Structure 1
Amino acid sequence: MILKIDARGQRCPWPAIRLARALREAHPQIEIMADDPAAERELTAVATAAGATITRQSSQFSQIFHVAGPGVVNISFTSNG
C-alpha cells in the first residue's frame, strides 16, 4: 500500500521531515506532494540517505515524488516529536 503525504503549503524542512518519518516507520512505497522549490533537493537527500529511490513527476501546481525501497534513515533527519 502506498502512503500518500500531502506537504503542499509546507516549507522545507517539513516535507523532508515527514518523508524521513515515513521511511523510519518502514513504509515501502511513499508518494509525497510538495510545492516548495527546495523540496526536490531536500527530499532527494533524505531518500538517498535511507537507501531509497526517488522519482519526480511535475504537475501544474506541485511536484509529486515517488519514493520506494527499504532503508534506514539517519535519526538526525527526524524530530523526536
Structure 2
Amino acid sequence: MAPIGKTQAELTRLVEDAIRSEPGCETVQVPAVTPLPHVREGRNWQIPEVVLGDSLISDVDRAVMSVQRRLGREFHLIADQSEPTGGSA
C-alpha cells in the first residue's frame, strides 16, 4: 500500500496525537514536522524537536522513534496547496 500524502499541518497534528497517546507523553507538543531534503522514496519527513511538558525525556524519545517509524510507513509529506509555487502574479 502506498503512503498517503498529508500536508505539514495535517501530519504534525497526526504525529502529536500519536505521541500523546503513548504512556507518559500526554503533555508533549510537536511544533512541526519538517521535510527531509533529497528524499525521494519512503519517509520524507522528520520530527526535529518536541516540547516535553511534564513528560520524561526517556518516554518521549521512545515514543518519537516508534511514531516516526509507524507513521512513516503510512504517510508522506506533500507541499501545502496554499504555499506559493513561484508562478507569476
TM class by smaller structure: 0.3 to 0.5
Relative to the length of structure 1, the TM-score reads 0.33
Q: Tell me which of the two structures has the higher relative contact order, counting C-alpha pairs closer than 8 angstroms and 6 or more residues apart.
A: 2
Relative to the length of structure 2, the TM-score reads 0.31
